[in-house]
Chain A
Amino acid sequence: MTLVQMESLRVKLSQISLVRTDEIPESVLTFSTLTTILSYIRRPRTFSGAGPTKKKHRAHLSVLNALATLLVRDVEDVAITANVPSGYENLEVIACVGAKDGLTLVQYGALRQIWTWVTTLFTGTPGNPTLINPSPPNQTLKDLTDAGLESYIDERP
């Protein structure tokens, strides 16, 4: 999936909601209010390491957990899933990325960070390394061929 397609999918998702505003069941409103109140009640935190017992499932979860860790850029929640069939060329991973404050478009934020990083590499100049171009040409990403990318991140300084 290209970045443009991902952004298109994000826009579609951001435009829908499960129910219309004037049809929100009271039970849903109650649930939202309760969870919001609970988030402000301080209590000792406990953590659980419980997981699947099957070795194969543990291994898969370990890999998915690693992927989820890598997809977190800043303050996001990430849930991740993958289908693991054999006989297919690609392993398809689906990640759901949400911002803590519910306002930031995290996906866009992550893309912007990538763009920032790439454009800093390619367009930044000494003395002004934090130059940010929020809308770099897509060509910039296409230029990340083996030689182009490796010259920046795989070379000893």
Chain B
Amino acid sequence: MISELITRIKSSGTSNLLQRYLTGMASTKMARRLNNEALSKPFLNCLKGLDTSRFPDVVCDTTDLDRERYNPLLSALRITKTRTSIPNLREQAEAASNGTPFDVYTDKTKEEFHNILCEILHDYTTSMTELAKYYDPKQSADLQDFRLRLYEAAISGNALLHLARSSAIEKHLQAIEHLLGDFRRNKADDTRMVEEDEIDDDLRSVQPSAVHDGQVIPLWESYLKWLRLMVSHFDATSILTQYIKHPDFQYNRITIKIITPPRVDKCLLTWEQLLQSKYFPEPQLTDVSTDTIIEFLKEWSDSEKEAQGGGRSIDQILKTLKGPFDPSTTIRLTEDLVALGSVGSSGWKAYIKNMVELLTKHRISSTVQEVIPDIIGMLETLRDNSLLFKMLRKAPLGSGKNFTGAIHCEALLALLIILSRTKASGPIYEQYREILNELRVRYPISFSPLRSPLISSATEC
């Protein structure tokens, strides 16, 4: 279907069909992303909650005028009805259209610009959420409204895409960076998602705490990346459309073949077998033997009641600790920690006992507030390790059975490409022969046979 719709871009010159088809197809995923309580809502809530009267003065900047002049959003603003009053923005859009001097982001337009951003975000979130109901068997939505929802989602998604690509949004987010919420991703949610197998690496990569190429990205850039991620399907459609409509594009069709990676096997080594194997030699630099490591891990992973000791959970205690500091809750905090350490392995108990002693020591000297960050760090380490210990108990690591891993997509693709380009024979070639024929990469004689096809990948949740 996608192949068919992509091909039509060339004949019709428009990507409307592909875009609306994909808007519907991606609505479940996009709605889930937009409504993610831990990783998206903080962005949304912060932008909506900003006090526009506190926006700083804007320094006149006429760079990137061409980029703005040809941004479709600007021409759309001239004629589109909006709930937000944007007379100054419309004036600039009109000037750009007439070829007279203009500047999208100024002192006059900064509030209007922010308000229209919030309006588009609201419309996009609402329409995507409504559209996603059509794909949820538990929901009941009126089919009569399907086209309307699809149309609204496509319109607002496009508007948000062009806004997120503009230089004005970069200027705006940089200008208001000091007002943006520097929330840090809550590791509790991270852990929960691991257990539910719902990790969205793309969404995690735009969080304020994310590290890119060894550097923590600036806060304003985190917000910009998040905005662009929310319209990634629209962006992808736009890139494809430009590629296909380019005069250099010589093909009549794009055909897409899909293969599914086979399962590896249901077995693996248990974690104990791994540590006892030849691939895990005795530690050379420490006095700790492999047997000691195994005993340590067994002791920690044998307890079933950790993390909920005495009815208290680590997450509950962390939530209290991360709130405003209240000296009167110190005794309660100590009691909670004691209860948490009342069950579990001896290692678990000893670790929590250290925390209680640290807290007690500082309580006596009335310096509890100083030690709260250390307690938080210790509890987070304990909780993160608990996930590993819990998994060591369960299949497949505990029993070596019921492993569900499949061959990595990129690895399989690379393997098949290599096999398809060699003329060697043997059982594996016979086993794959039919598939290799399907996947064989053809090159014209005048081209170097060594040229490598490009591989790209996307990991989504």
CB of B59 to closest CB in A, whole Å: 29
Q: Is there a chain A Cβ closer than 8 Å to B117's Cβ?
A: no
Q: Is there a chain A Cβ closer than 8 Å to B325's Cβ?
A: no
Establish whether residues B2 and A70, one from each chain, have CB atoms under 8 Å apart when the complex forms. yes
What chain A residues lie within 8 Å of B274 (beta carbons)? 30, 33-34, 37
**Given A70-B233, A153-B17 in contact, is the A86-B137 Cβ separation under 8 Å?**
no
CB of A37 to closest CB in B, whole Å: 6
The answer for the CA separation of A125 and B142 in the assembled complex, in Å, is: 8
Establish whether residues A75 and B268, one from each chain, have CB atoms under 8 Å apart when the complex forms. no
Q: What 0/1 pattern do residues 177 to 191 of B give for CB contact below 8 A with A? A: 000000000010011
The answer for the CA separation of A45 and B32 in the assembled complex, in Å, is: 22
Q: What count of chain B residues pass the 8 Å CB interface test?
A: 115
Establish whether residues B405 and A45, one from each chain, have CB atoms under 8 Å apart when the complex forms. no
CB of B413 to closest CB in A, whole Å: 5
Kindly identify, within residues 40 to 93 of chain A, every residue whose CB is under 8 Å from any CB belonging to chain B: 40-42, 44-50, 57, 59-93
The answer for the CA separation of A31 and B215 in the assembled complex, in Å, is: 30
**Given A13-B262, A45-B204, A89-B252 in contact, is the A73-B454 Cβ separation under 8 Å?**
no
Q: Is there a chain A Cβ closer than 8 Å to B235's Cβ?
A: yes
The answer for the CA separation of A78 and B213 in the assembled complex, in Å, is: 23
The answer for the CA separation of A76 and B148 in the assembled complex, in Å, is: 29
Give the bracket for the number of chain A residues in contact with chain B.
35 or more
Kindly identify, within residues 101 to 157 of chain A, every residue whose CB is under 8 Å from any CB belonging to chain B: 101-103, 105-107, 110, 113-114, 116-117, 120-121, 124-130, 132, 141, 144, 146, 149-150, 152-157
CB of A132 to closest CB in B, whole Å: 7
Establish whether residues A129 and B237, one from each chain, have CB atoms under 8 Å apart when the complex forms. no
Q: Which residue of B lies closest to A124 (CB)?
A: B143
What chain A residues lie within 8 Å of B361 (beta carbons)? none
Q: Which residue of A lies closest to B209 (CB)?
A: A44
**Given A27-B279, A42-B191, A60-B454 in contact, is the A129-B141 Cβ separation under 8 Å?**
yes
The answer for the CA separation of A77 and B51 in the assembled complex, in Å, is: 40
The answer for the CA separation of A14 and B266 in the assembled complex, in Å, is: 14
**Given A46-B214, A48-B212, A77-B459 in contact, is the A13-B259 Cβ separation under 8 Å?**
yes
**Given A13-B259, A106-B260 in contact, is the A156-B151 Cβ separation under 8 Å?**
yes
10 A–B contacts, CB within 8 A, in A order: A29-B269, A33-B271, A36-B403, A47-B212, A70-B233, A73-B26, A91-B254, A96-B258, A96-B259, A144-B1
The 7 lowest CB-CB distance pairs between A and B, nearest first, are A64-B456, A129-B143, A66-B236, A79-B409, A68-B458, A102-B404, A42-B384
